[in-house]
Amino acid sequence: MLALQGAFIEHEEMLSKLGVESFEIRQKNDLLRSFDGLIIPGGESTVQGKLLKELGLLEPIRQLILEGLPTFGTCAGLLLLSKRIENDARSYLATMDITAVRNAYGRQLGSFYTEASLGTIDKIPMTFIRAPYIKEVSDSVEILATVDGKIIAARQGNQLVTAFHPELNDDFTVHRYFIDICGGE
Ligand code: GLN
């Protein structure tokens, strides 16, 4: 669990309910432990991105992802993994071949709840908080979910992203999906 800022505790609780062990990554030494997957939580992409750089975590984590480490980015995590952010000149880990739009739902619709299907799985709850959406994907990216014609969940190899916060609802679909990418429980 990347635990620099944002909603990481909620993800940890979901994992523990699923019987999956996790630990927090806060500094470079934490990367020396062995782990099967990484979750990058929602929060503020700019703050997490800045801390990743300052703590010397950005490049090592980037390398691990490029080497195939299963990685799940939620909301701000999606932005950190995006190669391009349409309305922000910054990019961070930039390992996933998608173009995201930041704070894409404007102020009025900054936060909302809906239900939609994810891949072949029927309707799951989705909570959006000042969320991004994905505007463009390369051919190697699988689109997993759309809401109102906008891509809000996708996968490329071992990387999974959702614009919504699955850790804020009592539904384990997305976490189970990610645990499968990590090689099961
Ligand atoms: N708006 C935030 C950002 O730009 C993301 C919001 C979230 O993670 N809930 O990083």
Looking at residue 106, what is its pLDDT?
Answer: 73
What pLDDT, on the 0 to 100 scale, is given for residue 123?
Answer: 95
Domain count, the chain: 1
Active site residues: 75, 165, 167
pLDDT tens digits in sequence order for the chain, 185 residues long: 999 999 999 999 999 999 999 999 999 999 999 999 999 999 999 999 999 999 999 999 999 999 999 999 999 999 999 999 999 999 999 999 999 999 998 766 679 999 999 999 989 999 999 999 999 999 999 999 999 999 999 999 999 999 999 999 999 999 999 999 999 75
In the 8-state DSSP scheme, what is residue 43? S
Which of 11, 79, 92, 105 gets mutated to test ligand 1 (max ligand atoms within 8 A of its CB)? 79
Residue matched to tokens 């800045």: 50
Q: Which of 88, 109, 97, 10 is nearest to 45 (CA)?
A: 88
d(CA 49, CA 58): 8
User: Phi/psi zone of residue 68: left (φ > 0), alpha (ψ -120 to 50 degrees), beta?
Assistant: left
CA separation for the pair 143, 153 (Å, rounded) = 6
Q: What's the CA-to-centroid distance between 23 and ligand 1, angstroms?
A: 23
Q: How far, in Å, from the CA of 78 to the mean position of ligand 1?
A: 9
How far is it, in rounded angstroms, from Cα 124 to Cα 115?
Answer: 5
Residue 1 resides in a domain: no
In a domain, 136, yes or no: yes
Position 185 scores a pLDDT of: 54
Q: Quote the crossing angle between the two packed helices 173-181 and 8-17, to the nearest 10°.
A: 80
The residues near 113 (Cβ < 8 Å, ≥ 6 apart) are 125, 126, 127, 128
- Ligand 1 nearest atom to the CA of residue 47, by list position: 10
- Any domain includes 2: no
* pLDDT of res. 117: 97
Which atom of ligand 1 is nearest to 75's Cα? 8
How many Cβ atoms sit within 10 Å of the Cβ of residue 3? Answer: 17
In a domain, 3, yes or no: no
> Under 8 Å CB-to-CB from 173, ≥6 apart: which residues?
118, 121, 124, 166
Q: Which domain holds residue 122?
A: 8-181
Supply the CATH number for residue 152's domain.
3.40.50.880
Residue of minimum CA distance from atom 5 in ligand 1: 76
Q: Where are the beta strands (DSSP E) in 17-149?
A: 38-40, 71-74, 82-85, 96-101, 111-118, 121-129, 133-137, 142-147
Per-residue tokens: 21? 């062990």
The pLDDT assigned to 74 comes to 98
Q: Which residue CA neighbors atom 8 of ligand 1 most closely? A: 42
pTM of the predicted model as reported, rounded to 2 decimal places:
0.96
75 assigned to some structural domain: yes
- 47 within a domain of the structure (yes/no): yes
Ligand 1 pocket list (CB less than 6 A)? 42-45, 75-76, 79, 102-103, 129-130
